[in-house]
Amino acid sequence: MRIAVMIAASVLVAGCSQAVDGQARLTEPARPTPSGTTRASPPTTTAPPPTSAPAPRAPVGEVVRWIEAAPPAEPGGFHTANRDGTSTDLGEGVAFTTPTGTSKCITNSRAEGALTCLVDLKDPPPRPAEVYGEWKGGWVDFPGATLDVGSAHADPGPFSDGFGVELPYGRALNFGDYRCRTDPAGLFCVNYAHQAAARFSDAGIEPFGCLRPVSPPPDIGARFSC
């Protein structure tokens, strides 16, 4: 009987550790490995969201956490486009504009809802020699697996119905495979299907995640691809 009591006491001592505040804390028992040895369980901590806009070449996970940290905007107010005082219902599509008006974005119904933006770039890609028609260096197509900057367009395309309302700073908008957040540093958007993201600002287009610069087709100014 005495031996059993001593064994029980030893188990209780092994199951507790002394914290720096002097209080006894119950610790998780070690888990056996296939070889029969024991190994302490790793801590299960979650990284807090970044407190400032992601820097260039930041990991895409950091970009996603920062975008998701913003309170969601009510999506119902972004399903219309306005042109010369006339509003057009976009159905499930969305349109929005950054507070400075630098980026105007819309989902392209002719491209399976891919995100298309007009960005007022300070230094847009120059017109390629092979391109004819009206060159728009700030036209950005972001379907997810690719990100194209600069292309020629004979008509307004998805912007024929105008532009969307302002997406305020510090708010995030969910639509399709995307989530976008506005900030004074620029517009940040992630495409969850491809784990690719981009920042749109007048200083340029910054890719994140799997997007890497590649040789563009003859009619595109610059291309990034997964």
Give the model confidence (pLDDT) of 49-61 as tens digits: 777 899 999 999 9
Count of CB atoms situated within 10 Å of the CB of 133: 12
H/E element, 61: helix 60-68
Tell me the CB-side half-sphere exposure of residue 11, using CA atoms within 13 A.
6
Residue 178 has pLDDT above 70, yes or no: yes
CB–CB of 221/125 below 8 Å? yes
Residue matched to tokens 């507790």: 16
Angle (CA) 148 153 157, round 5°: 90
Q: Concatenate the DSSP letters of all residues of 207-225 into one string.
A: EEET-EEEPPPTTEEEEEE
Q: Is the pLDDT score of 29 beyond 90?
A: no
What pLDDT sits at residue 131?
86
pLDDT at 53: 94
For residues 190-218, give the mean pLDDT: 97
Residues with Cβ < 8 Å from 42, sequence gap 6 or more? none
The chain-wide mean pLDDT, for the chain, equals: 83
pLDDT on residue 9: 39
Q: At which residue do the structure tokens 């819309």 appear?
A: 106
pTM of the model: 0.78
pLDDT value, residue 80: 96
If you compute the radius of gyration of the chain from its CA atoms, what whole number of angstroms results? 26
| pLDDT of 69 strictly over 50 | yes
The dihedral through the CA atoms of 164, 148, 213, 60 has a sign that is positive
**Residue closest to 151 by CA, chosen among 119, 175, 181:** 119
Per-residue model confidence as pLDDT tens digits over 88-138: 999 999 999 999 999 999 999 989 999 999 999 999 999 998 888 899 999
pLDDT(31) > 80: no
**pLDDT for res 133:** 82
Q: Does the pLDDT value for residue 65 go beyond 50?
A: yes
* SS3 state at 197: strand
149 pLDDT above the threshold of 90: yes
Nearest to 78 by CA among 66, 65, 89: 89
> 171 burial class (0-12, 13-18, 19+ CB within 10 angstroms)?
middle
Q: Quick one: pLDDT at residue 192?
A: 97
Q: Is the pLDDT of residue 17 over 90?
A: no
